[in-house]
Structure 1
Amino acid sequence: MTVLLAYISASRDRDDPHISLLPTGLCSLQACLREVGFDALLANFSAWSASRIEASLREIRPRLLVISQWTHNRHASLELAHVARRLDPECVIVMGGGHASFQYDEVLGQGSPVDLVIRGEGEATLLELAERLREGGDWSGLAGIAFRRDDRVEVTRQRVLLADLDALPFASRYLEHSRGVDIPLQAEFMITARGCPSSCTFCSSPGFWMRRVRFRSPENMLEEILFIRQRYGLIYFSLRDDTFTADRRRALEFCRLLIRSRAHILWNCQSRVTSLDEELLVWMKRAGCECVQIGVESGSPRILSLLGKQITPAQVEAAAAAVKKVGISLSVYLISSIPGETDDDLDASIALMKRIRPDDGYVSPLAYFPGTRLFQEAVSAGRVPVNIFATSREAAVYAAGKPQRPPARLLRALTGRPERDGRCFERQKRALGYCYATNVLAGEYFLRRGDPGTAEREFREIVAREPDNPWGWYLLGDLLAEQGKQRGAADCYCRVLKLVPNHGPSLAALGK
């Protein structure tokens, strides 16, 4: 029995390399199915034409089709379900994901091609469903789903959340069994925890994960990183937990294990300003963390309270200062177009950005998402209809109405920051001692400043101190290649491949 786990982004997002990626949860579902013998395939149809999608569905002929639905792709995912139903009336079509879990009434409306919706965490539910179908059964009494029976939608009892995330197979283990998936890019993004300790009004994470936070162990995290490094040749990772440092002890132990293993990776993560301190950041930097992204949202205490952030501008400043002192790049998320936001509120955000001077940042208009307190309050107050996600064709439903550009003054406060002083790297080296992440960031800085000689010294220090570190050889190889020193560059790339045989950029540079 073939199970197809599919994703398709909205057409307007198909050139975005991140929105068009598979949700990591879909990869986890595939791994669970393949571990017990199901022929489970991943499919990313985001860049495919309609005719190519139809041809692939005809070829694969899945008995069970699982589609990942989020708010931005809610219409595209439902259209995919309609195509699959037209091609194979006997196929069992399942919808899951952040949007479907909360909007199952709409997903299962009259005339819907979807048979059932998996609500919330899906591994145990999907495994049980697949086993029942393989044995000729159906989904009667299956926990954790919603489905249409006659003229009404039935909702079964809530599925108990998995107690041990380490028991799950790695989401990256079977990526080669796929269609349309950029495997190296997909494997870069890892999830090491489920849930968030915060309760922001605009975020659906607390509702989706039932306000619980569960963590994978540091040992399990390291094991997957080493697996991906060996199998797919990756030496850069993005840890996409809502708050990677929510469990400080776990984060510290992970860093210690990473250093001890000599994996020599670079990585980034998301955190919360109240979950960072200088000691933790030092360990993160020594373990290869080069960037931390924090949700600031606003510099106005009034707006922060309205968004349920439970942080203060002073805490933002303290966390930002610690990040920059250690020498990790600081990225911030901000929210704009908030109903009721005044010029004074905007001025407070601009002033905060000028004080903390992030290395980069992202500004998004405030949007409604199902399962959030913000949306529930807007419906109760009559500001938006309860069926807005079905009736609106926009990718996002913005709280201010039509999407608005972020205020130019706010963007200037983010993009107009002065370049860091190159002397900061010497201060970091004196404070932290040798740390390859410092050399990497320093080398990239000097290259941007048009000083390849100093950049080369930074990269050569890595290869001298740590000849088993692929980053020194790879960056030195790129630098030599840009200078036309092809023989030296080729030697560097070969050194990388002795350490990481499947490293894609080095293989490409050597024409392999």
Structure 2
Amino acid sequence: MVLATPSPVTHRTAEENLGLGYLAAYLRQEGHRVDLVDGWLQGIDVEALARRIVEARPSLVGFACYRSNMMRAIEAMQLVQRAGVRPLTVAGGYGPTFHANEFLEAGFDAVVRGEGELPMCLLAEHVRTGTPALASIPGLSFRDEDGSLCHNFEPAPKLPFSQLPHPHRDTLDLTIARRSLVHLQTARGCQATCTFCSIIAFERVGGGSNWRQRSIRDVADEIEQLWEAGARYFKVIDDSLVEPPRDAAWCAELADEFEARGLSPRLRGSIRADRAEEDVVRELARAGFFSFSCGIENFSQSALRRMAKRATVEQNYAALDRFRAHGIYVQAGHILFDDRTTLAELEDNYAAMRRYAWTISKGIFTEMYAAAGTNFTRTLTRRGGLQIDQDALGNTRYDVLDPRVRCVYGALKRWQKEHAAVYDKAIDPLSAPKALDDAELALMHGLSIDLRETDLDLFRLLLDAAAGPTATEHLEEETHELIEAELVRTAPRYRAFDTRVKEAYRKVGLVYDADDNPFLC
């Protein structure tokens, strides 16, 4: 069989697909022959991906899909079929889990909803022997012989890590050569219940616990194997690294284990602000973490309550202060707008963004996505607030209710669209991130701070306009004129900044080969 993923339409540069590595390892362990083709990391287009599949003459092809590579996966599947090869085709991942009918109607034979190790193994047995029947494979949706769409009720099981082999690393050399971080997983899931997040929705598909972990020894074993293969920089792709029962003692044990083995990995991870206590951050820094993504999301308590965030504003501040004290770079995840954002909340966020302008940001403008399966989307549906049309990634649309906030929303979005390309390029080495030394990180970080200051100046102008005397019916025109004037005034600055970013890329030896940002539409 072939396990494949096309490159997504994304503003990010290529990274390893660890899910394919886990699937390949599990299936090979069960005696199946597996070829792995990562179109994103290998830098091949849809036509080349299809040719690779055709050359393998597989009886089963599994596509790892999200909304951002759905159309390319469909195109690759159709090209394979036109070449006269007729394998059973299956799609899995977040996109197929929440949009199974769309993938089946596009021509896939089957969809795996939830985690894929066991369903894919059973599907491979079905292709090889005719058993088990498709209708008995948990977590599977498929097109029956009469063309009807069938969805098996039993969920795909979430196997304990003790039953999963270490992921196979067919693309390790490519990952290191691109200076991308080698992906590593120490746990799956998250125990939080944020209203906007697809992670918890995905975990609920399989039932059982929403979070499960590996032992420290097993994690260290894998890092040691990768270390011997030349890997030094790692991205821990856990949705939330320090979930209970993990605590400061666990973090200290992790650091001790690395030290005992003579390992000094450079690590990037994701953590919730309410879990970033002083002892936790200190020990994670000792373990080798130089960078974190932290879901701050908002600096207004009322907005945090709407999102069902467990962290308070004060905990957000404390987490960021601790990261900085320990020399850890932070990409502060942010959601500035939802349907009920107020001007007071925007003021809260402006003040805190000024205070923490050193955090890594992809721009002032961010909005909550109404993604399938989330509590936010269900709430909007009950209120009648969803619009039928969708953006390019399948997220349904909604209106910002406050008319004056809506003017700020529209103006900031216009500003972000104009500058997204230089923003995405400037922060990619920090947000992806890349295997950079301290001096290279400092160079790229300095650029991101300079860029953000201009954004904050513009944000202040818009907030002043929204709080001013202009009647609401004329505010949109005023903010539009303000944005257009600022775009003209700052154009030389942004051209000069783009030149600085290109020079920084040349200096550190990186290549930016991503697409335009698909989220801004």
Superposition pairs for residues 95-174 of structure 1, below 5 Å? 95-109=91-105, 112-137=106-131, 138-149=133-144, 150-159=146-155, 161-174=157-170
TM superposition shift of 1:140: 3.3
**Partner of residue 365, structure 1:** 367
Once the two structures are superposed, residues 339-384 of structure 1 have per-residue CA deviations (whole angstroms, 9 ceiling, x without a partner) of 2323321111121223345432235432222221122233343333
TM superposition shift of 1:400: 5.1
Kept in 2, the 8 Å contact 1:332–1:362? The answer is no
Q: SS where residue 270 of structure 1 aligns? A: strand
Kept in 2, the 8 Å contact 1:245–1:275? The answer is yes
Once the two structures are superposed, residues 299-348 of structure 1 have per-residue CA deviations (whole angstroms, 9 ceiling, x without a partner) of 11122122222321111111122222223223311123422323321111
| Residues 1:309 and 1:234: Cα distance change in structure 2 (over 3 Å) | same
| Residues 1:326 and 1:342: Cα distance change in structure 2 (over 3 Å) | same
| Residues 1:375 and 1:35: Cα distance change in structure 2 (over 3 Å) | same
Kept in 2, the 8 Å contact 1:74–1:99? The answer is yes
| Residues 1:82 and 1:352: Cα distance change in structure 2 (over 3 Å) | same
Q: SS where residue 362 of structure 2 aligns? A: strand
Q: Aligned partner of 2:241: which letter?
A: F
**Partner of residue 287, structure 1:** 287
CA separation in 2, counterparts of 1:448 and 1:144? 43
Once the two structures are superposed, residues 179-199 of structure 1 have per-residue CA deviations (whole angstroms, 9 ceiling, x without a partner) of x87776666121211110111
**Partner of residue 230, structure 1:** 228
Q: SS where residue 299 of structure 1 aligns? A: coil
Tell me whether 1:57 sits opposite 2:59 in the alignment: no
Higher relative contact order (CA 8 A, sep 6+): 2
Q: How many residues align?
A: 411
Superposition pairs for residues 486-505 of structure 1, below 5 Å? none
**Partner of residue 324, structure 2:** 324
Counterpart of 1:7 (choices 5, 8, 11) is: 5
**Partner of residue 33, structure 1:** 27
CA separation in 2, counterparts of 1:147 and 1:446? 50
Q: SS where residue 79 of structure 1 aligns? A: helix
| Residues 1:27 and 1:330: Cα distance change in structure 2 (over 3 Å) | same
| Residues 1:256 and 1:187: Cα distance change in structure 2 (over 3 Å) | same
Q: CA RMSD in A?
A: 3.4
Kept in 1, the 8 Å contact 2:138–2:152? The answer is yes
Q: Aligned partner of 1:372: which letter?
A: T
CA separation in 1, counterparts of 2:176 and 2:234? 15
Q: SS where residue 226 of structure 2 aligns? A: helix
Q: SS where residue 362 of structure 1 aligns? A: coil
Kept in 2, the 8 Å contact 1:188–1:238? The answer is yes
TM superposition shift of 1:298: 1.1
**Partner of residue 83, structure 2:** 87
Superposition pairs for residues 328-367 of structure 1, below 5 Å? 328-363=328-363, 364-367=366-369
Kept in 1, the 8 Å contact 2:112–2:141? The answer is yes
Kept in 1, the 8 Å contact 2:360–2:445? The answer is no
Kept in 2, the 8 Å contact 1:6–1:66? The answer is yes
**Partner of residue 64, structure 2:** 68
Q: Aligned partner of 1:203: which letter?
A: C
Q: SS where residue 311 of structure 2 aligns? A: coil
TM superposition shift of 1:237: 0.9
TM superposition shift of 1:227: 1.2
TM superposition shift of 1:29: 0.6
Q: SS where residue 34 of structure 2 aligns? A: strand
Instruction: Calculate percent identity across the aligned residue pairs.
Output: 22
| Residues 1:184 and 1:196: Cα distance change in structure 2 (over 3 Å) | same
CA separation in 2, counterparts of 1:370 and 1:188? 30
Superposition pairs for residues 201-280 of structure 1, below 5 Å? 201-210=195-204, 212-231=210-229, 233-246=230-243, 247-248=246-247, 249-280=249-280
Q: SS where residue 150 of structure 2 aligns? A: strand
Kept in 1, the 8 Å contact 2:6–2:45? The answer is no
Q: Aligned partner of 2:238: which letter?
A: D
Kept in 1, the 8 Å contact 2:47–2:79? The answer is no
| Residues 1:53 and 1:280: Cα distance change in structure 2 (over 3 Å) | closer
| Residues 1:304 and 1:216: Cα distance change in structure 2 (over 3 Å) | same
**Partner of residue 516, structure 2:** none
TM superposition shift of 1:106: 2.1
CA separation in 1, counterparts of 2:179 and 2:130? 38
Tell me whether 1:195 sits opposite 2:173 in the alignment: no
Q: Aligned partner of 1:158: which letter?
A: E
Q: SS where residue 140 of structure 1 aligns? A: helix
Q: SS where residue 336 of structure 1 aligns? A: coil
Which runs of no fewer than 5 residues in structure 2 stay unpaired? Answer: 401-408, 423-436, 447-506, 511-521
Once the two structures are superposed, residues 32-81 of structure 1 have per-residue CA deviations (whole angstroms, 9 ceiling, x without a partner) of 11223322122122443344233223211221111112122222222222
